[in-house]
């Protein structure tokens, strides 16, 4: 696919705020990133880091108590190559963008599908919403989409209701609906979290193949750093509403800089692990309210914490395309994951096992 000079999607200084009875809470702290045409950008981090609300803001689907306080979300599609700020669109204009330019696969397919309408009815509606055709043509297109996503006997599936399908089959229906408008950008938000590992692998392989076939870009949101290794071209690591590291996927696994990234990798099992390898564990949890934290938001869980960590941490570029938000990023030995400092495993075990696993995953991804 021919690369555009400008990114397909560009998010700048995005600040999201949610209101409650206890006051306002900032959930993303002026985050900026972009997705190029034809690439997969992975966003990884624990639950509560701000990944999913970022995707909902892009789609214009924030809850009523959520709002964009600052920033812009610019989309440069084939229909509007000059770009348009999605935050400035009317509801009708946004409806035209959703599904046709950007589409999203949600985490919970059962909650996303309407229980009182058949599968065929819902997929046909998705087709009619974005393409000009009559109901008969739309039904044929819906059946074709269900067949493309690997649903067995799509004709029979069209007559069934969501509760009559397995979790993996429902997720395939959601993917078919997301593809109905032939979008340029596909957002996958924890698309396989509720499925068993065998079905997860099948679904992600299918998404990868369809993305290449349709020449789509993808924003992959997950807490599984192993999935990031398999699917992504570039990676953003988020923690407590901030981007703490950004790099090419190979560079991230070769030379993780931020302590949080190092510990995520150390906590990941690999196919080539030694039999006696002990996985690291990251102590503590993501803070629920991190708005008032002035210094490093990871400091209370970090094995390298110093007095400098109480100061605001700048996001610095250490090599072309590789940035991290940590004043110690360039000083920590490359082989040290930090797990050894925490007394959980030997310093080099976790990161090198994850790298070996990543090498195998890369071969699968590029096949």
The per-residue DSSP string of 63-98 comes to -TTEEEEEEEEEE--SS-TT-EEGGGS-HHHHHHHB
- Do residues 147 and 292 both lie within one domain? no
- Domain presence at residue 258: no
- Do residues 37 and 155 both lie within one domain? yes
- Do residues 154 and 44 both lie within one domain? yes
- Domain presence at residue 265: no
- Domain presence at residue 118: yes
Q: How far apart are the first and last CA of the chain?
A: 18
Q: How far apart are CA 289 and CA 271, in angstroms?
A: 37
Tell which residue, 239, 284, 229, 289, has the closest CA to residue 260.
Answer: 239
Residue 334: what pLDDT? 65
- Domain presence at residue 215: yes
- Do residues 54 and 176 both lie within one domain? yes
* Contact indicator for 236, 33 with CB cutoff of 8 Å: yes
* Contact indicator for 125, 145 with CB cutoff of 8 Å: no
- Do residues 305 and 187 both lie within one domain? no
- Do residues 202 and 342 both lie within one domain? no
Given 172, 206, 232, the domain boundary residue is 232
Tell which residue, 31, 80, 81, 87, has the closest CA to residue 54.
Answer: 31
Residue 362's domain comprises: 271-366
Tell which residue, 288, 285, 308, 186, has the closest CA to residue 241.
Answer: 288
- Domain presence at residue 259: no
Residue 73: what pLDDT? 97
Residue-wise over 147-159: b if at least 16 C-beta within 10 A, else e?
ebbbbeebeebbe
- Do residues 218 and 275 both lie within one domain? no
Q: How far apart are CA 221 and CA 190, in angstroms?
A: 6
Residue 345: what pLDDT? 35
* pLDDT less than 70: residues of the chain: 1-4, 334-367
Q: How far apart are CA 199 and CA 357, in angstroms?
A: 20
- Do residues 172 and 298 both lie within one domain? no
- The CA distances from residue 246 to 105, 112, 194, 249, in Å, are 24, 31, 27, 9
Tell which residue, 236, 223, 238, has the closest CA to residue 49.
Answer: 238
In terms of Cβ atoms closer than 10 Å to its own Cβ (0-12, 13-18, 19+), residue 196 is exposed
- Domain presence at residue 266: no
- Do residues 129 and 227 both lie within one domain? yes
Residue 268: what pLDDT? 84
pLDDT (tens digit, 9 = 90+) per residue, 224-259? 888 898 899 999 999 999 999 999 999 999 999 999
How would you list the strands of the sheet with 23-35, edge to edge? 23-35, 9-20, 66-75, 84-85
- Do residues 225 and 348 both lie within one domain? no
Residue 357: what pLDDT? 44
- Do residues 145 and 21 both lie within one domain? yes
| Two structure tokens written together for 81 | 């190559």
| Two structure tokens written together for 21 | 């009875």
Given 215, 232, 249, the domain boundary residue is 232
Residue partners of 12: CB distance under 8 A and separation at least 6:
32, 71, 72, 73, 74
- Do residues 124 and 222 both lie within one domain? yes
Residue 253: what pLDDT? 92
Q: How far apart are CA 335 and CA 254, in angstroms?
A: 10
Tell which residue, 48, 36, 24, has the closest CA to residue 76.
Answer: 36
Based on the structure, what is the number of domains in the chain?
2
Q: In sequence order, what are the beta bridge partners of 280?
A: none
- Domain presence at residue 13: yes
| Two structure tokens written together for 137 | 């043509």
Q: How does DSSP assign 44-55, residue by residue?
A: E--TTSSHHHHH
Residue 110: what pLDDT? 83
- Domain presence at residue 275: yes
DSSP state of 6: S
Residue partners of 208: CB distance under 8 A and separation at least 6:
231, 365
């Amino acid at each position: 696919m021919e690369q555009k000079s400008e990114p397909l999607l560009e998010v700048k200084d995005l600040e999201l705020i949610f209101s409650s009875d206890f006051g306002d809470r900032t959930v993303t702290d002026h985050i900026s990133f972009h997705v190029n045409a034809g690439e997969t950008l992975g966003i990884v981090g624990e639950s509560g880091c701000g990944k999913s609300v970022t995707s909902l803001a892009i789609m214009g689907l924030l809850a009523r108590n959520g709002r964009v306080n600052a920033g812009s979300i610019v989309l440069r599609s084939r229909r509007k190559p000059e770009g348009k700020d999605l935050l400035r669109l009317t509801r009708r204009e946004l409806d035209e963008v959703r599904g046709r330019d950007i589409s999203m696969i949600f985490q919970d397919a059962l909650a996303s599908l309407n229980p009182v309408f058949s599968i065929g009815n819902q997929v046909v509606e998705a087709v009619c919403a974005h393409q000009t055709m009559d109901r008969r043509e739309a039904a044929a297109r819906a059946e074709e989409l269900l067949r493309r996503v690997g649903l067995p006997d799509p004709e029979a599936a069209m007559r069934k209701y969501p509760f009559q399908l397995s979790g993996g089959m429902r997720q395939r229906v959601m993917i078919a609906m997301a593809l109905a408008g032939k979008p340029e950008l596909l957002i996958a938000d924890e698309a396989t979290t509720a499925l068993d590992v065998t079905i997860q692998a099948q679904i992600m392989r299918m998404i990868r193949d369809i993305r290449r076939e349709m020449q789509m870009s993808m924003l992959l949101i997950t807490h599984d750093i192993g999935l990031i290794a398999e699917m992504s071209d570039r990676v953003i690591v988020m923690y407590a509403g901030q981007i703490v590291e950004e790099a090419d996927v190979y560079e991230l696994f070769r030379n993780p800089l931020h302590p949080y990234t190092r510990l995520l990798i150390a906590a990941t099992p690999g196919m080539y692990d030694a039999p006696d390898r002990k996985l690291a564990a990251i102590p503590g949890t993501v803070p629920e309210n991190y708005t008032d934290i002035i210094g490093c938001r990871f400091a209370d869980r970090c094995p390298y914490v110093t007095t400098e960590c109480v100061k605001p941490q700048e996001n610095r570029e250490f090599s072309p395309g590789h940035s991290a938000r940590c004043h110690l990023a360039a000083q920590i030995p490359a082989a040290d994951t930090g797990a050894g400092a925490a007394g959980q495993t030997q310093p080099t075990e976790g990161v090198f096992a994850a790298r070996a696993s990543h090498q195998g995953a890369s071969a699968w991804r590029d096949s």
